[in-house]
Amino acid sequence: MGVLYDYLPSVTPDYNAFFPIDSYDNALVVSGDKAVEVHSSYSTSEERVLFSGQTKFIINLQFSLFSEIDEELLFNFYNNEDKACATYRSFKFQPVSQYSSESGHVYVVRFGMPLETVFMSVKRYGTGNIQLVVLGKVLD
């Protein structure tokens, strides 16, 4: 299995802090795609245009439940203008050790979509998915 770290440039985060929660569920989904436009005709011919050879990687973290403290940390981290400032500022993310091929590496990411919090009952919170756009890596 390829390691994401091997395909990324070295970059410096806008906000020099780590994503505040490492207790996401047993799912860390990494997807990647290149900037390609495919124009198909009604026959079998097609024209393909590659806009960039760089792959754009997305990390999706899945949470089912987290504590009130984690919810407050995440809400503050996302909304504070001096921190992530929604999808504007980049920050550091390090996958937890159970993901062996990616553990130990630090990535520079930003939020890729608005933060959604689910209020399930008294002092129980969750979110379906947090999307992080990978901008690069911090050199080991």
The domain locations on the chain are 4-138
| Residues 138 and 131 sit within 8 Å (Cβ to Cβ) | no
SS3 73: helix
Q: What is the pLDDT of residue 129?
A: 80
Which pair of tokens denotes residue 45? 């011919």
Q: Which residues pair with 30 in a beta bridge?
A: 59
Tokens representing 37 are 């436009």
Q: Do the Cβ atoms of 107 and 94 come closer than 8 Å?
A: yes
**Amino acid in the structure at residue 30:** V
- The pLDDT of residue 99 is 53
Low-confidence ranges of the chain (pLDDT < 50): 1
Could you report the per-residue pLDDT of 67-95, keeping only the tens digit for each? 778 888 888 999 999 999 999 999 999 88
Confidence at residue 132, expressed as pLDDT on a 0 to 100 scale: 93
pLDDT given at position 69: 82
CA gap 13, 109 in Å, rounded: 8
The pLDDT score that the predictor gives to residue 42 is: 84
The Cα 92–Cα 12 span in angstroms is 9
Reported residue count of the chain is 140
Give the three-state DSSP class for 15: coil
